[in-house]
Amino acid sequence: MATTTTKSGTIIPHLYILHGWAYDSQKWEILQRALEKTNIEATLLRIPGLTSPLDRPYDISDYISWIDTSIEKKTPVILLGHSNGGRLAFHYALEHPSNISHLILIDSAGVEHTDIVSQMKKNALLLLAKMGKKVTRSNFLRNLLYTIAREKDYQEASPVMRKTMQNLLAADHNFPFSKIAVPTALIWGEKDTITPLVDGLTMHAKIKNSKMYTIPEARHAPQFTHPERIVKIIEEIIERISKDSI
């Protein structure tokens, strides 16, 4: 990988992107092209199981190991994660804080909810997993549980990826956000209904060295609907990193 520097000779960190559960390379290319115009190189990592099939269910440790082998550590690294990719990113940041200069979470998944509605969704998924083929024989029961869970991704996933999703949801339990030492930017769509703004505010309150950016009118994917604003935030982060390295 070629090293990119500023006019003053400061090395510009390389940006690695972890996409969400739904993968659309064309949408991400819009953001990547916008970043390239500002001399920021970005690599979109293709997450196993979402871009290529898995031969077994993964858990969070598998994804942490995969990220570790996927990023080039010879240059400063910024790790950006959206939605489920954010979950993977902050777990990696906790385990390998010295490998990244900055963490960027866009409408990240990973905040555990203990309210009644969230517990109903979680229990519906667990029941679907436990009953397996028994549920598939009853269209009514299956559709009822999916409606309660409101998890279209789970409904459309293979058995391996359903178990993988369960493993990742389990990793949210009591996650110690306060122990994340990496400087963190939290970018949130104000009108996100999938991972609501309160999730971002929860992370911001717990991650000591964090900064919150709220994008008005944006929903769950501001990097697609407001790419110029996202690029501007990333530029600000890189500028701060460059100043700190002088």
Asked whether residue 27 falls in the same domain as residue 91, the answer is: yes
Q: Answer yes or no: do 156 and 179 share one domain.
A: no
246: in domain: no
Residues 96 and 187 in one domain: yes
pTM of the predicted structure, to 2 decimals = 0.85
Please tell me whether residues 102 and 215 are part of one structural domain.
yes
* 104 phi and psi angles, rounded to 5 deg: -120, 120
Is residue 188 in a domain?
yes
**Inside any domain, residue 18:** yes
Sheet holding 102-106, edge to edge: 42-45, 14-18, 77-82, 102-106, 184-189, 210-215
pLDDT of residue 2: 46
Residue 78 is encoded by which pair of tokens? Answer: 């910024």
Query: Does some domain include residue 4?
Result: no
Same domain for 61 and 161, yes or no, is no
Same domain, 127 and 39: no
CATH of the domain at 86: 3.40.50.1820
| Angle at alpha carbon of residue 215, lines to 212 and 220, rounded to 5° | 100
Of 126, 145, 166, the domain-final residue = 166
Q: What is the mean pLDDT of each run of 10 residues along the chain (246 residues)?
A: 53 93 90 93 96 97 99 93 98 98 98 64 52 50 45 74 89 96 98 94 98 97 96 95 71
Residues 65 and 28 in one domain: yes
Q: Residue 209 is part of which domain span?
A: 14-111+175-240
Give a yes or no: residue 2 inside a domain. Answer: no
> What does the pLDDT read at residue 106?
99
Q: Are residues 131 and 91 in the same domain?
A: no
Residue 94, judged by CB atoms within 10 A of its CB (0-12, 13-18, 19+), counts as middle
Q: Looking at the structure, do residues 57 and 135 belong to the same domain, yes or no?
A: no
Residues 157 and 193 both lie in one domain: no
Residue 5 covered by a domain? no
Looking up tokens 């600000």 gives 236
Report d(CA 108, CA 221) in Å as an integer.
10
What is the C-alpha to C-alpha distance for residues 1 and 206, in angstroms, rounded to an integer?
35
Number of domains in the chain: 2
Can you name the residues that pair with 106 across neighbouring β-strands? 82, 187
pLDDT at residue 242 in the model: 77
- Is 160 contained in some domain? yes
Last residue of a domain, one of 131, 166, 201: 166
Residues 89 and 127 in one domain: no
Indicate the residue among 166, 187, 205 that finishes a domain.
166
User: Could you tell me if 234 and 160 lie in one domain?
Assistant: no
User: Considering the domain boundaries, does residue 9 fall inside one?
Assistant: no
Torsion, Cα 153 95 46 209, to 10 degrees, reads 80
Looking at residue 74, its pLDDT comes to 84
